Structure 1
Amino acid sequence: MDTGIKIFSFNGKMKVLHLSWMAFFITFVVWFNFAPLLGVVQETLGLTAAEIKTLLILNVALTIPARVIIGMLTDRFGPRLTYAVLLAVFSLPCFAFAFAQNFETAALARFLLGGIGAGFVIGIRMVSEWFPANELGTAEGIYGGWGNFGSAAAAMSLPAITLLIGGPEAWRYAVALTGALSLVFSVIWYLNVTDTPKGSTYFKPKKSGAMEVTSKGDLLFLLVMKLPMYGALALLTWKLSPNGVALLSETVTWVAYAGLVLLYLLEAAKTIEINKGLFSADVPEMHRYPFKQVAVLNVLYFATFGSELAVVSMLPLFFAETFNLDMVYAGLLASAYAFMNLASRPGGGWLSDKFGRKKTLIILTAGLALGYGLMAMIDSSWPLFLAVAAAMACSFFVQAGEGAVFATVPLIKRRLTGQIAGMTGAYGNVGAVVYLTALSMVSYQAFFLIIAATALVGLAALFLLEEPKGHMAEVKEDGSVELINVG
């Protein structure tokens, strides 16, 4: 019996875990290969400050819908094929960005590259197939934490690679190298993993195209929970409009808004069609799952991963301005926040396995709210080491909270794990868009307090969460029912 998590093993489920975090790591290297080279890209392509800001916005725009769509594809076709295709396909816009000669090509490539940020949800389903409930939080935490470190690895390695190659065009080869890595690993991944351990069943949704729910009330709840995702895309559109960086004209902006309304109505119609059986018969008790579980986790990931993405973007500038530091030094200090991912996220998953999902989430979310409350108090009178320590302590609660969220996601409904992970992951990006928009309008102190306030909303929502226990039921192709232990 293959029990326990043996970090230095590369056999069985551990081989799958290691290959999963490596795939996720590569997606984040590719997704964040622009920020560390921002200055030299601006110089080579002759971009304005507004155009650079636009590229940063476009880099995250597609990730919100992509996570939902990739979640559906993962449940339908399995993580082995889905991750391989994603890594190969998104190497193409990476190459396009590397050799872009103008702003328009670079903008389109960065927009498309936002889709690679959806890779995260594929591994969540893969890991849940290979690890039992009592090890799942730790395994998902390792997957998320070590994979997430890809953004920090890109920041540390790509400038060095650019310098090593040398010359004004060297950044292009550094970026292209990340695309080549993604392309090569897509083959390694496909040849070395299977969707499930030998003899296990890969459960697929009964219908494709939208998430299944198990009551009429939950159907309405799902339609309401989709609205913030479209709201975030509308916010991004506004940022690109004449009111923001003016990439889009007034007319194009209104066409985009109308398109988002139309897309929501089409998605709502598809969701109702997929779930129309609820209006003629009740779902048997053993096959039900409460959608409120998904909604609570969405809100928590909004506050945890949403704030991480936002804070990583602004922390170097915050330290530089507050303590009058050189930007390079401020960036090094701020990187301590991202470094915490290596241990914090697995730590949050381990705590969930050990002490229970709900209790762990309550403690970590309360710590997150207090942490951001403390960061709101930082000013130039603080000793610098204390400010960095406060940021790192806050970072622990943020990233451990992410680990605890995804220790719970795979325990709701096995055949829908990709879609649930996709929606929850998308909410993290929604949070980042909302927080960064708020940052453009308020002071740093108010920004941190806004995050703390949303964490308190998450804390209140947590009391609606039901601790996963007992078994969840899935139907095999032969009609027999399999009970999967959830703790």
Structure 2
Amino acid sequence: MTGDPARTASKSAAAEKLRGGFPQVLLATVASTIGFWAWMSIAPLQHVYNERMDLGEGQISLMLATPVLVGALGRIISGALTDRYGGRIMFTAILLLSAPAVLLVAFAGTIGSFPLLIVAGFCLGVAGTIFAVGIPFAGAWYPPSRRGFATGVFGMGMIGTGVSAFFTPRLEQSIGYLPTHLVIAAALVGMAALVWILMRESPAWKPNHEKLVPKVAGALKLPVTWEMSFLYAIVFGGFVAFSTFLPKYLTTIYPNEVNAVGAGSRTALFVAAAVLARPIGGALADKFGPKIVALVSLGGIVSLAYLVGQEPPEGIVTGAAFIAMASSMGLGMGAVFAWVGPSTPPDKMGAVSGVVAAAGGLGGYFPPLVMGLTYHPTTNSYWLGLWLLVIVGTFALIVAGMLKDTGQRAAPGATLK
């Protein structure tokens, strides 16, 4: 059989219509990288704030978690607004709004004010909302069968977390604290200009003028929103939590083996592993279905969290465990948004993506606080916090096993087998 000529012609016309999408997705990825760098610019310099302000464990955890919380909740709004205004306007706006927040962080650190630093971290959370802009933007450039790949490539923009972990402490040592933040702010403004000049919307994208509250409410009525939000809170939330807290974890558990710069390098490797795995997870999900990829991801996270909780000697085993855990998280991130795309009405893609992305950010907000609260100074251990990850990850593994794969999703109201 040669197939239906009309259908073949329609597919060819659609592919021709979307030609040129990959450069646009790459541009969005670079913009996201800069946004993530700004969003995570406090964590790599936590030793500086600790020295200047003499912070306790609880204060450090709050300082690290505040940008994550705002960036998470703000994604609900930025995702819904992207449905209405498009990626070009939203990318530009978020990048420009983030630059003053970076300068406020610099000012708070310069005068040594912890309350002002928390306020600045709150404002800095705007940068973290950039993720919810890129998911619908990238997905609109590809047909549903390839959206796992598209969103996986865009998701590589989270390498900005690694850029921050690697370069921010080195810049601070070489050019100073204030100039470092001026460089980050300049990068945000420069990237905003490039986006405004070079970015264009997919021909398949149409603005949705539905009001914000009904739009979000409509997304919350879809079962896929809740299902993917829970899974993404584990895979992306775990990534954000470790990316934020890993420097603190390593320098606390292995103080004689790891200094601040070394912890930044290890965190950058952690981020790079997750970034490289994310598009692989999306591509594998396109081919084999997102469910099996998510199950492999969650199984890896649970087993590796247990291994890390044993606090093996710092070295090859520890390094390999964290890199493997990051890779598992990256595969899961790619799988979840490959699951979202075919399961979501196109006009609600931004709103659903925003809610799911927000859940992922919230998943990264609480673990640093938990780690700070459950730290045992007498044994120098975070074992309780890691055991909680094992328990929650195991529950997520069970839930994922009960969900229907994208190919099985026949009815909009279907949830569990």
Instruction: Classify 1:37/1:201 alpha carbon distance in 2 versus 1 (closer, same or farther; 3 Å).
Output: closer
Q: Does 1:157 align with 2:132?
A: no
Aligned to 1:280: none
Match of 1:419 among 334, 342, 351: 351
1:17 counterpart (25, 46, 54): 25
Q: How does 1:96-245 map to 2 (within 5 A)?
A: 96-100=104-108, 101-103=111-113, 104-145=115-156, 147-165=157-175, 170-197=176-203, 200-204=204-208, 206-211=210-215, 222=220
Aligned ranges 1:331-346 → 2 under 5 Å = 331-346=264-279
List per-residue Cα deviations over 1:373-403 (Å, max 9, x = no partner). 23223434xx731222122212211111011
Structure 1 residues 164 and 335 mapped into 2: Cα distance closer, same or farther (>3 Å)?
closer
Give 3-state SS (helix, strand or coil) of 2:213's partner: coil
Q: Is the 8 A contact 2:290 2:339 kept in 1?
A: yes
The partner residue of 1:453 within 370, 391, 406 is 391
Q: Is the 8 A contact 1:76 1:208 kept in 2?
A: no
Partner of 2:378: none
Deviation at 1:102, TM superposition (A): 5.0
Aligned counterpart, 2:65: 57
The structure 1 residue matched to 2:303, chosen from 370, 388, 403, is 370
2-side partners of 1:465 and 1:293: how far apart? 10
Residues 201 and 441 of structure 1: is their aligned pair in 2 closer, same or farther, counting only changes over 3 Å? Answer: closer
**Unmatched runs of 5 consecutive residues or more in structure 2:** 1-11, 375-380, 412-417
Structure 1 range deviating more: 332-341 or 72-81: 332-341
Kept in 1: contact 2:61–2:369 (CA 8 A): no
Amino acid in the other structure paired with 2:26: H
Identity of aligned residues (%): 24
Letter aligned with residue 171 of structure 1: Y
State the distance in 1 between where 2:320 and 2:217 align.
44
The alignment's C-alpha RMSD in Å is: 2.8
Q: Deviations over 1:243-297 (max 9, x none)?
A: xxxxxxxxxxxxxxxxxxxxxxxxxxxxxxxxxxxxxxxxxxxxxxx72211111
Cross-structure match for 2:7: none
Confirm whether residue 400 of structure 1 aligns to residue 295 of structure 2: no
Of structures 1 and 2, the larger Rg is shown by: 1
| Alpha-carbon spacing, 1:105–1:444, altered in 2? closer, same or farther (3 Å) | closer
Distance 1:62 1:460, change over 3 A: same
Unaligned runs of at least 5 residues, structure 1: 5-10, 223-289, 474-487
* Distance across 2 between alignment mates of 1:445 and 1:156: 26
Shift of 1:348: 0.8
Counterparts in 2 of 1:61 and 1:357: CA distance versus 1, 3 Å: closer
**Number of residue equivalences:** 383
